[in-house]
Amino acid sequence: MGQFADDANAVKCCDLFPGALRHQIIVQREINTPDAAGGNSLAWQNVSTIRAYIKPVSGSERLHSQRLEARTSHRIFIRYRTDIRTDDRIVYQNRPMQIRALINLEEMNRWIEIHAEEGVAT
């Protein structure tokens, strides 16, 4: 069966193990930053660096405003934590990914499954 359950089946806590966390991701949060004109601008700030397992799930392309957009969905698995929000984003190898869902696997507070999408406006 490999490291994780087949995509057709739900991933369970027992399917995960710390040695699989071979990717390093950065969690970023959008903050208001004062600018030189006395106003504010939005910027992404690093919140934490985390070990994770990233699994690309699907990809798609579509034509939007006369240009081709490519999107890739990912499932990202990390140890359980409470400081990540759905309005944060994940950065992996300088590639930003919008968080779509945070799932506490089996509600056991051991692992979080993050559904993220790359190639979308954040």
Q: In the prediction, which pLDDT does 14 show?
A: 62
DSSP type of residue 119: S
At residue 15, the 3 state secondary structure works out as: helix
Q: In the prediction, which pLDDT does 37 show?
A: 83
CATH code of the domain occupying 13-118: 2.40.10.270
Assess contact for 30 and 40: CB atoms under 8 A: no
Block mean pLDDT (10 aa), the chain, length 122: 48 72 96 84 94 83 57 92 96 95 93 90 52
What pTM value is reported for the model?
A: 0.76
Q: In the prediction, which pLDDT does 40 show?
A: 86
Helix (H) / strand (E) element for 24: namely strand 23-34
Q: In the prediction, which pLDDT does 38 show?
A: 80
Assess contact for 72 and 63: CB atoms under 8 A: no
Q: In the prediction, which pLDDT does 4 show?
A: 47
